Chain A
Amino acid sequence: MVSKTEEAEVNRLESQADNGGGGEWEYLSLVRKLKLRRPDKVLKHGLTILNDPKKRSSLGHDEWTLYEQVAIAAMDCHCLDVAQDCIKVLQKKFPESKRVGRLEAMLLEAKGSWAEAEKAYLSLLEDNPLDQVILKRRVALTKAQGDISGAIQRLSEYLEVFMADHEAWRELAEIYVSLQMYKQAAFCYEELILSQPMIPLYHLAYADVLYTLGGLENLQTAKKYYASTIDLTGGKNNRALFGVCLCTFAVAQLTKGRYKEDKESPELQSLAAAALEKDYKLRAPSKLSLLGSTLRSLKLSS
């Protein structure tokens, strides 16, 4: 997760580089360190550095890392000839390297020659059958081909061994949600919450999945997780506020007639509604009436 200061720094460097103020190398290094995905900017600034022989030689050993970064960005932007040139340069310098082999296989993937890319990855895996990056690239390959269930299978196999890799769990959760397999997605989100309990994003996603699953118990649990998201974000997350209102409404619908008052937090929904109104008044006053009518239909606002 990127912190606020780092985000501000990246944006500042980006605007500085965009306006021709120099500082491209710092921007690229920061993007690489934070593992951000901004292929167009990386490509533009990377090529400015690489095409200028003076700047290139001033980099020294980092030149090759920059080549790799630009190659990946070029593949993201589908400038495959640029990527090919970068990889050729790297190949000349490091002939037997596995890292370059991985880039070549990625280029095959970008070109769409799936079978050859698969073969390339398998040969790289022969040397080191537990290479995390290559295993993950195979999953991406399967997903890109459209074979989602194959991707799920490969990812599950990967997680059998590397079960502490929370990024993999997150990817699996998103795949399950896209396939509407909500129970499995809930399991994955639980794993994520276990590994990093203080990140509100995971609480929010888990609450969303629980709300979608439905059923009284899930709705009540979902409301609790929306509440925890509100707590972790200081009340600023509108989605969680809406979630609380919707959950309360849904629970009330389900327990229509039966008295099952929520003793733990009777005022949560009205407070959430009030917070929403305040935020809308501040940021989108034109939509305030829309919000008001929505909340009224949920019987939460007066």
Chain B
Amino acid sequence: MAEDLVLDTAIRDWVLIPLSVVMVLIGVLRYFVSKMMRSSQTPDAKIIKEGQVIIRARNLRAAANFIPLKSFRARRVYFSNEENGLLHVPKGQAPNPQAQMFSDPNMAMDMMKKNLSMIIPQTLTFAWVNFFFSGFVAAKIPFPLTQRFRSMLQNGIDLSTVDVSYVSSRSWYFLNLFGLRGLFSLILGEENATDDTQRMMQMSGFGFDPSKSLGAEKDGLDIVQHEWALPKFEQRAEAVLRKLVS
């Protein structure tokens, strides 16, 4: 049944807009709090070195054809040498990052602080929305949806005949949660702690990066076939000069 529900404009005035405003304010508040709470991270020499090694190995792979064969070979040996090559990670060291993550008190505290600053406001706002704004239809989504979204979008509404396009305020909350990221980067500049979604994605790939990417770079480097591009340049130079002189 696709009847058209008429939604009271009071809903718009008293639900949608206040909810958005509150979320923006909470985001700004979190940004300032996180700025104050952030401890200066002393960079770890090993991690920096590994990062730089990766950049250098990547450059080598990308531009290998621009340097003579001997130099390329020398560098490749330097990187992937079995004994003391820069990219060579001995087997025992691989599982370290995770253990390191939990044993290093500083890092653990840091992560906990970041997590807290993300989880608590989210939980509180969600509870507030549920308490005050449940049980009625808040908005209509302009495009049609399938029935499967019903459980997600129509949480407080227990009528199964209402069209799925009519959603509750909980879905408006989720929409704001993910959508205000762009707005925050406009107001607060590039680096803002409200990047929840990004952080959630980052969390999964935290400590594994160094050793895995080193191994990946080493494999990539081993595969590279050196084909010196310079002779081609000579011919191109000839062509260029010919055009210039004629």
Binding site for B on A (CB under 8 A): 128-130, 160-165, 187, 190-191, 193-195, 197, 221, 223-225, 227-228, 230-231, 234-235, 244, 264-265, 267-268, 271-272, 274-275, 278
Q: Are B55 and A231 in contact (CB under 8 A)?
A: no
Picked from A163, A197, A227, A228, the residue with its CB within 8 Å of the CB of B52 is A163
Q: Tell whether A227 pairs with B245 under 8 Å between CB atoms, given A161-B49, A194-B67.
A: no
Least distance between A9 CB and chain B CB atoms (Å): 25
Nearest neighbor of A225 in chain B, beta-carbon distance? B230
Q: Is residue B142 contacting chain A, with contact meaning CB distance below 8 A?
A: no
Partner of A264 from B43, B48, B66, B234 at Cβ < 8 Å: B234
Which 7 interchain pairs have the tightest Cβ spacing? Answer: A228-B233, A227-B237, A164-B55, A271-B241, A224-B230, A230-B237, A227-B234
A208 to B120: give the CA distance in the assembly, Å.
Answer: 63
Q: A161 with B52: in contact, given A224-B233, A235-B241, A268-B237 (CB under 8 Å)?
A: yes
B230 — which chain A residues lie within 8 A by C-beta? 221, 224-225, 227-228
Which residues on the B side are within 8 Å of A225 (C-beta)? 230
Q: Is the CB of A274 within 8 A of B233?
A: no
- A265/B238 in contact, CB under 8 A: yes
On chain B, the residues within 8 Å of A264 by CB distance are 231, 234-235
Contacts of A228 in B (CB 8 A): 230, 233-234, 237
CA distance A193 to B235 in the complex (A): 20
A130 touches B241 (CB 8 A): no
A195 touches B63 (CB 8 A): yes
* Number of residues from B at the complex interface, CB < 8 A: 32
A267, B238: Cβ atoms closer than 8 Å: yes
Residue of A nearest to B42 (CB): A128
B53 CB–A CB distance under 8 Å: yes
CB distance B56 to A231 under 8 Å? no
- Decide yes or no whether B236 CB sits under 8 A from chain A: yes
Residues of B whose CB lies within 8 Å of any CB of A are 42-43, 45, 48-49, 52-53, 55-56, 59-60, 62-64, 66-68, 71, 230-231, 233-238, 240-245
Of B66, B241, B243, the contact of A272 (CB 8 Å cutoff): B241
User: Known: A130-B43, A130-B45, A193-B63. Is A230-B241 also a contact (CB below 8 A)?
Assistant: yes
Listed by A's residue number, 30 A-B pairs whose Cβ atoms lie within 8 Å are A130-B45, A161-B48, A161-B49, A162-B48, A163-B56, A164-B59, A165-B52, A193-B63, A193-B67, A194-B62, A194-B63, A194-B64, A194-B66, A195-B59, A197-B63, A221-B68, A221-B230, A224-B230, A224-B234, A227-B230, A227-B236, A228-B230, A228-B233, A228-B237, A231-B237, A235-B241, A244-B237, A265-B237, A267-B242, A271-B241
User: What does DSSP make chain A's interface, helix, strand, loop or mixed?
Assistant: helix
Q: Which residue of B lies closest to A235 (CB)?
A: B244
Of A187, A193, A227, which one neighbours B233 at CB under 8 angstroms?
A227
Bound CA span A162–B45, Å: 10
Smallest Cβ distance from A163 to chain B, in angstroms? 5
